[in-house]
């Protein structure tokens, strides 16, 4: 059986595209592998009625890429582009008193990702480790991802980790799966997910939107680079970068408004009617979601690395690059400033009178932000912070990247749902086999474990408003 392979690369200077595209034809089978140079990439396989049709389809794919600037290359000669790390510094705090830290967990590496929900605390670091802890500081589990974690975000029940390998991992079940594979030329800085739609901000100041099937929807290039902030709701996607904050329509990406900010935006937060932009010019600015008008400013003493709010924006918190944390009331009056007792807060979140922060020394810190605790701290009385340790036998979970590595069952347990993978042109898609569901809807499903004709058992399916199902719980292969 004849076998031909065409290998192309597209690499641009100044942080542009740096990706490969490989087409292999073997008889009637066409395999396409693509991704960032220096990575294994993503594989798609299609079968055609005859060898001639397979060759024609391959030639068409190659021609399309050549017209976009790809050129023949020798695999391995061009090195992978270095991943961008956020360059941060942390100076000693200038605050007169130290915050009432209840406990501190040192992850062992610089940490940016944080998510706090009603059940657990999540923290992800540059080594690819994601830990879950109880609100009291007990370490519950560890996920070991292939690359450094840039951010952790929640979308209802689902928890996602955006990583340096360009993938977004779903951590909602016991074993993580790669849920999205971002385009090879997008150097991810931050992301947000809403009802399965992924919004990615990147190094060049770009915004890329990907749907639940991991398919490109639209992108925009904002006026400034280094876009760390992206937040989304049903009305808009809010994108913060060196040039300010821009709002785009979620359907199509038309610009709704743009507001220059007092300095480059380094972090963002949102409430129902406002977005908050922490800037390099020592201020957090609150912008109206409908118009972009600046509603209030919260002045800090140096560069703002992170910000968060109490529900409804009743309090606004900020962390600066000098290891201090601030609290303001809604109108901008500063209520207090305290030292963190460690590094500067790179991300933060407030829940039930506690402020959780990840800091430049790689720690997850829990601060008692109640009025009584803050008053005591201002008078020099703080609790002895507990130094949380991981248990030696801590469960560690690694991503499932192949069908062969999946847990299998021979019969679907009662109450669980069977889904099936099928070939749809050049794509592999998943639909529901079990009764009681709309068979025309696709199922959002990890691409790395899709295999044409395979059936899977999932704990539950939840409908999304835009007409597809999302998997909740464990996924097992039905054999």
16: domain CATH number is 2.20.140.10
Cα gap 38→17, rounded to integer Å = 13
pLDDT digits (tens, 9 = 90+) for 46-64: 889 998 898 989 988 988 8
SS3 373: helix
Question: Quick one: 302 and 268 in the same domain?
Answer: yes
The answer to whether residue 223 sits within a structural domain is: yes
The DSSP result for 346-368, as a single string, is EEEEEETTEEEEEETTSEEEEEE
Question: Has residue 81 been placed in a domain?
Answer: no
> Mean pLDDT throughout 398-423?
90
| The domain boundary residue, chosen from 358, 388, 418 | 388
Please report whether residue 78 resides in a domain. no
Q: What is the pLDDT of residues 325-337, one digit of tens each?
A: 999 999 999 999 9
**Cβ pair 240, 218 in contact under 8 A:** no
Asked which of 77-86, 98-107, 299-308, 321-330 is least confident by mean pLDDT, the reply is 77-86
Give the end of a domain, one of 364, 388, 412: 388
- Determine the distance from the C-alpha atom of residue 364 to the mean position of all C-alpha atoms in its chain, rounded to a whole number: 18
- Kindly indicate the confidence band of residue 86, based on its pLDDT and cuts at 50, 70 and 90: low
Average pLDDT, the chain: 90
Mean pLDDT on 162-184: 86
Closest CA to 189 of 171, 172, 207, 175: 207
Residue 52 Cα distances to 13, 30, 218, angstroms: 38, 11, 34
Same domain, 135 and 174: yes
Q: Which pLDDT tens digit goes with each residue over 364-389?
A: 999 999 999 999 999 999 999 999 99
* Residue 173 domain flag: yes
Rounded to two decimals, the pTM is 0.83
Q: Are residues 304 and 428 in the same domain?
A: no
Domain that holds residue 59: 3-72
Residue 81 has what pLDDT?
56
Same domain for 57 and 137: no
Pairing outcome for strands 363-368 and 354-359: antiparallel
pLDDT of residue 254: 95
Q: Please indicate whether residue 213 or residue 347 has the higher confidence score (pLDDT).
A: 347
C-beta separation of 452 from 426 below 8 A? no
Which pLDDT score, from 0 to 100, does residue 354 have? 98
The DSSP code for 316 is: E
Average pLDDT of the residues in 395-416: 89
Summarised one tens digit per residue, pLDDT across range 442-460 is 999 998 889 999 999 999 9
Residue 85 covered by a domain: no
Same domain, 416 and 360: no
Instruction: Tell me, yes or no, whether 132 and 171 share the same domain.
Output: yes
pLDDT digits (tens, 9 = 90+) for 111-155: 889 999 999 999 999 899 999 999 999 999 999 998 889 899 999
Here the CATH number for the domain that contains residue 116 is: 2.130.10.10
Q: Is residue 77 part of a domain?
A: no
Per-residue pLDDT at 78 exceeds 80: no
Question: Which region among 25-39, 240-254, 331-345, 440-454 has the lowest average model confidence (pLDDT)?
Answer: 25-39
> What is the rounded average pLDDT of the residues 419-447?
92
Residues 201 and 322 in one domain: yes
CA distance 366 to 310: 15
Average pLDDT of the segment spanning 396-405? 86
Whether residue 178 sits in one domain with residue 323: yes
Q: Same domain, yes or no, for 55 and 109? A: no
What pLDDT, on the 0 to 100 scale, is given for residue 264? 93
Domain count, the chain: 3
> By mean pLDDT, which of 89-103, 131-145, 178-192, 258-272 is the weakest?
178-192
Residues 57 and 139 placed together within one structural domain of the fold = no
pLDDT value at residue 14: 46
pLDDT, residue 76, reads: 79
Residue 73 pLDDT level (bands cut at 50, 70, 90)? confident
Residue 358 lies in a domain: yes
In a domain, 80, yes or no: no
Higher-confidence position of 426 and 239: 239
């Amino acid at each position: 059986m004849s076998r031909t392979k065409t290998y192309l690369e597209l690499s641009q200077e100044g942080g542009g595209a740096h990706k490969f595209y490989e087409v292999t034809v073997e008889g009637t089978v066409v395999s396409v592998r693509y991704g960032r140079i220096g990575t294994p990439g993503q594989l798609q396989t299609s079968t055609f009625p005859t060898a001639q049709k397979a060759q024609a389809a391959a030639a068409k794919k190659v021609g399309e890429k050549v017209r976009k600037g790809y050129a023949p290359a020798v695999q391995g000669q061009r090195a992978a582009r270095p991943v961008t790390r956020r360059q941060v510094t942390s100076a000693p705090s200038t605050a007169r008193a130290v915050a009432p830290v209840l406990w501190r967990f040192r992850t062992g590496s610089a940490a940016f990702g944080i998510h706090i929900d009603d059940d657990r605390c999540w923290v992800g670091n540059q080594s690819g480790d994601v830990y879950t802890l109880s609100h009291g500081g007990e370490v519950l589990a560890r996920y070991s991802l292939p690359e450094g974690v840039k951010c952790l975000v929640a979308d209802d029940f689902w928890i996602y980790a955006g990583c340096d390998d360009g993938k977004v991992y779903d951590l909602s079940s016991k074993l993580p799966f790669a849920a999205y594979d971002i385009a090879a030329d997008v150097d991810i800085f931050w992301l947000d997910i809403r009802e399965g739609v992924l919004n990615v901000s990147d190094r060049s100041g770009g915004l890329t939107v990907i749907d639940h099937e991991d398919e490109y929807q639209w992108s925009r290039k904002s006026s400034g680079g280094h876009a760390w902030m992206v937040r989304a709701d049903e009305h808009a996607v809010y994108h913060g970068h060196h040039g300010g904050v821009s709002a785009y329509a979620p359907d199509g990406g038309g610009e709704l408004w743009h507001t220059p900010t007092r300095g480059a935006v380094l972090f963002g937060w949102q409430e129902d009617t406002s977005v908050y932009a922490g800037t390099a010019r020592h201020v957090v600015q609150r912008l109206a979601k409908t118009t972009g008008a600046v509603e209030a400013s919260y002045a800090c003493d140096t560069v703002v690395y992170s910000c968060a709010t109490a529900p409804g924006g009743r309090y606004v918190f900020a962390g600066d690059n000098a290891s201090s944390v601030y609290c303001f009331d809604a109108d901008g009056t500063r209520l207090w400033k305290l030292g963190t007792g460690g590094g500067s807060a790179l991300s933060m979140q407030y829940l039930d009178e506690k402020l959780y922060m990840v800091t430049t020394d790689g720690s997850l810190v829990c601060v008692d932000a109640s009025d009584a605790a803050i008053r005591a701290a201002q008078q020099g009385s703080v609790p002895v912070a507990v130094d949380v340790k991981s248990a030696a036998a801590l469960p560690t979970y690694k991503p499932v990247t192949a069908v062969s590595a999946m847990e299998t069952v021979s019969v679907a347990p009662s109450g669980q749902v069977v889904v099936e993978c099928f070939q749809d042109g050049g794509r592999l898609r998943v639909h529901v086999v079990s009764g009681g569901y709309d068979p025309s809807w696709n199922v959002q499903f990890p691409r790395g474990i899709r295999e044409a004709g395979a059936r899977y058992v999932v704990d539950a399916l939840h409908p999304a408003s835009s007409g597809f199902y999302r998997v909740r719980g464990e996924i097992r292969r039905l054999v």
